[in-house]
Amino acid sequence: MTSPTGPALRLTVYIGENDTWHHKPLYSEIVHRAHAAGLAGASVFRGIEGFGTASRIHTSRLLSLSEDLPVAVVVVDAEERIRAFLPQLDELVGEGLVTLEECEVVRSVRHTPDPDGTDPEGKKSL
C-alpha cells in the first residue's frame, strides 16, 4: 500500500474450493498473482456452508455434500493497485463472484523478522 492507513479498496473473490487454474487450486493462483503484483496481502477463507448462482448448497456438515466448499480470497490495498489487478482476475475467474468495497485501513503493521531470519516466535520466515 502506498500509505499504511487511510482509504483503501477490499477485493473479494468468491469461488469454489475445487476450482482450478492449470491443475492448481484457483485460490492459490490468485494469491500468488497478487503477491507477484506487489499487493499488500491476500488471505483465503474457507466457508463451512454456502451456495452460488447454481443454487446448490455446499456444506461441511454432510459428507456427501462436503465437496467444493465456498472459498473467499480477500485482498486490501490502495484503489489504483487493486483496479490494476482486476484484468488478471478476468483471465482467471470463469465462474464466481468478484466484489469491491471501499474500506479504511486504521492499522497496518509490517512483520519484520529478526536479523537471523527468524520471527519473534522462533519460526523461520520465508
At 95, give phi and psi (nearest 5°): -125, 135
In order along its 126 residues, the chain shows pLDDT tens digits of: 445 789 999 999 999 999 999 999 999 999 999 999 999 999 999 988 887 777 676 666 655 555 778 999 999 999 999 999 999 999 999 989 999 999 999 987 776 766 666 655 555 444
Alpha-carbon distances, residue 124 vs 69, 90, 110, 114 (angstroms)? 31, 35, 16, 10
30 and 13 Cβ atoms separated by less than 8 Å: yes
14 and 70 Cβ atoms separated by less than 8 Å: yes
Q: Please state, in angstroms and rounded to a whole number, the distance separating the CA atoms of residues 93 and 115.
A: 40
